Amino acid sequence: MKILVCISHVPDTTSKINFTDDNSKFDTNGVQFVINPNDEFGLTRAMWFKEKQGASVDVVNVGGAETEPTLRKALAIGADSAIRVNTAALDGFQVAKQLAKVVQDGGYDLVIAGRESIDYNGGMVPGMLAGLTNANFVNNCINLEVDGTNATAVREIDGGKETVATTLPLVIGGQKGLVEESDLRIPNMRGIMMARKKPLTVVEPVDANAETSAVAFEKPTPKGAVTLVSPDNLDELVNLLHNEAKVI
Amino acid sequence: MSVLVYTESEQGKFKKTAFEVASYAKAVATQLGTTVTAVAINANDASALGNYGVDKVLNVSNSQLDAFNAKTYADVLKQAAEKENAKVVIVSSSADSKYLAPLLAVGLNAGFASNVVDVPSSTSPFTVKRTAFTNKAFSMTTIDTDVKLVAVSNNAFGLVESSGNASAEDFSPTLPESGVTVQSVDKATDKVTIADAEIVVSGGRGLKGPENWGMIEELAEVLGAATACSKPVSDLGWRPHSEHVGQTGKPVAANLYIAIGISGAIQHLAGINASKVKVVINTDAEAPFFKAADYGVVGDAFEVVPQLIEKLKAFKAQQ
Ligand SMILES: Cc1cc2nc3c(=O)[nH]c(=O)nc-3n(C[C@H](O)[C@H](O)[C@H](O)COP(=O)(O)OP(=O)(O)OC[C@H]3O[C@@H](n4cnc5c(N)ncnc54)[C@H](O)[C@@H]3O)c2cc1C
């Protein structure tokens, strides 16, 4: 089985979010970038397929050269080779179109992407990629088994979960649950050394425009101080929620 | 040309979010000087949509659509959008809608903005405000394609009633092969789900063990709320994973979020920041959650929650 894992290069959750150029650009100054958490679960599940059932695992990112350390980290975790599509990621549609070309050229059976990335939280790329490549699609995937060309997936739904049957080629939008958090892999020294020798191919983008653009960013207005209510005066809390906040 | 809106229903009954997206669609249609057409799939009483500004309902009724399927549903909406020559298509942020929306975007070749929290600030260029960076910022996003797809955040716009009559029309799209078959569903049907809830009552590790969740459930019941939890609570198996909220769990955009015995780590806040009013109950006055909260009680959950339940019961009895 040929597996492609999409890796988004995102600011670490604890990063302070700031903007430059009159609030039109994300300020990367001092920001630590990591593998998108949802993608990390997918990458570890791909490793499981590789080790238990035999599969090749490639990772891909659409982005400039600055994303290569993130791809190297994925190689250190165990992916066989990495592909970087050499263009800035502008919006979900444009990224999905670039990835679709990689999927078609590589003839992948299974594409694992994260349910959403923690920078723009679009939740667009996995579904768009499935649509563009005519593959089956399972979103919010929390477990996946593959037997030949048949796949069984469990996905989270509002208020519970659902088990579905489908076939390869398949794209999933994965998340926590694909593997246990305790099973997530951290690159070790050997992995890091090996990653240096693994192929990281840079491919040129196809012609695809972004369909949306972030023209300006805003930060939420700073919140006023919390109103503290004494534990001995909970009537006051009920009163505030009813009359001031108007939420009950 | 009209604004097309997908109004979700469950077992024939519209979800609350259906009325919310209809209200939103009406506001956009007013800006554009056009009408609203809703797509209702296997819904019993489509006329209810008229109260939220819908002018026309395309009623789709087909037992093949009883179980949700993203690809098939996306195709139904695509055919409806084409039939109506819709330039703006609106869906909710339910798990189902977020599942079908990217497929629909491809089908319609439409630029797609998700997590939208307000009506367009401009219709030309079409510009919407959406959350980004796990709710730490907003992005003003333009959609540059001819057809535009918008997913509205839950509880962001609210319900706006208007007096109108929706005309109804039967619509029979052709249904493609779905490629994905549902084998089994494991869902508590009698419970308010986190996604639909206006109020969410959430418990953290401060509750010490699963045996103490009775009071969380009781508080939720009094408020008609959904129950949720922090990540360690689901990791420890005290509560099901489907209740875990935060960056790696479910997003919560409720009107009221009550956090009990939760410290307010940044990864937790990332998932709940979009909620409007936050109440925190915590023994530790230094817990970071107090910085993010609107109202707080520094106190022991085991004393505060039972009392709060009594106060709320008394309050509800008076209403
Ligand atoms: C990559 C990553 C992703 C993560 N994603 C998530 C996520 O999606 N969601 C999430 O929740 N976490 C997430 N976390 C974990 C997060 O960092 C915190 O560890 C977690 O939110 C803490 O949960 P808690 O507040 O319930 O527990 P604790 O940190 O143990 O806090 C318990 C709180 O309860 C209070 N307390 C104790 N006893 C009482 C009492 N009797 N009455 C009232 N209060 C009491 C304490 O003062 C304390 O503030 C993530 C972490 C990482 C690294």
pLDDT tens digits along A222-232: 888 999 999 99
Is residue B146 within 8 A of residue B124, CB to CB? The reply is no
User: Is the distance from the beta carbon of residue B164 to the nearest atom of ligand 1 less than 6 Å?
Assistant: no
Pairwise CA distance, residues B46 & B37, whole Å: 12
pLDDT tens, position by position, B102-129:
999 999 999 999 999 999 999 999 999 9
What are the C-alpha distances in Å from A230 to residues A119, B77, B124, B297, B318?
38, 52, 51, 6, 23
Is the pLDDT reported for residue B190 higher than 80? no
Tokens of A29: 């100054």
Ligand 1 atom with the smallest distance to the CA of B263 is 49
Kindly state the average pLDDT of the residues B299-317. 97
Is the pLDDT reported for residue B189 higher than 80? no
Does the distance separating the beta carbons of B298 and A118 come in below 8 Å? no
pLDDT at residue B134, rounded to an integer? 87
Q: Global pTM?
A: 0.92
User: Is the distance from the beta carbon of residue B283 to the nearest atom of ligand 1 less than 6 Å?
Assistant: yes
Range with lowest mean pLDDT among A3-7, A145-149, B186-190: B186-190
pLDDT at residue A19, rounded to an integer? 96
User: Is the distance from the beta carbon of residue B250 to the nearest atom of ligand 1 less than 6 Å?
Assistant: no
Strand order in the sheet with B277-282: A227-228, B295-298, B277-282, B256-260, B199-203, B226-229
Q: How many CA atoms lie within 13 A of A159 on its CB side?
A: 16
Q: ipTM higher than 0.90? A: yes
**Res. A188 pLDDT band, cuts 50 70 90:** very high
Pairwise CA distance, residues A206 & A87, whole Å: 9
Q: Helix or strand or coil: residue B29? A: helix
Is residue A3 within 8 A of residue A56, CB to CB? The reply is yes
The radius of gyration of chain A from alpha carbons, rounded to an integer in Å, stands at: 21
Tokens of B121: 């600030």
pLDDT at residue A222, rounded to an integer? 84
pLDDT at residue A120, rounded to an integer? 87
In chain A, the domains with their CATH numbers are 2-216 (3.40.50.620)
Q: Return mean pLDDT, chain B.
A: 95
Is the pLDDT reported for residue A181 higher than 90? no
Q: Helix or strand or coil: residue A59? A: strand
Q: Return mean pLDDT, chain A.
A: 96
Kindly state the average pLDDT of the residues B87-95. 96
pLDDT at residue B164, rounded to an integer? 86
A220 has a chain B CB within 8 A of its CB: yes
Minimal CA–CA distance to B100: which of A214, A100, A173, A168? A173
pLDDT tens, position by position, A50-101:
999 999 999 999 999 999 999 999 999 999 999 999 999 999 999 999 999 9
Ligand 1 atom with the smallest distance to the CA of B289 is 49
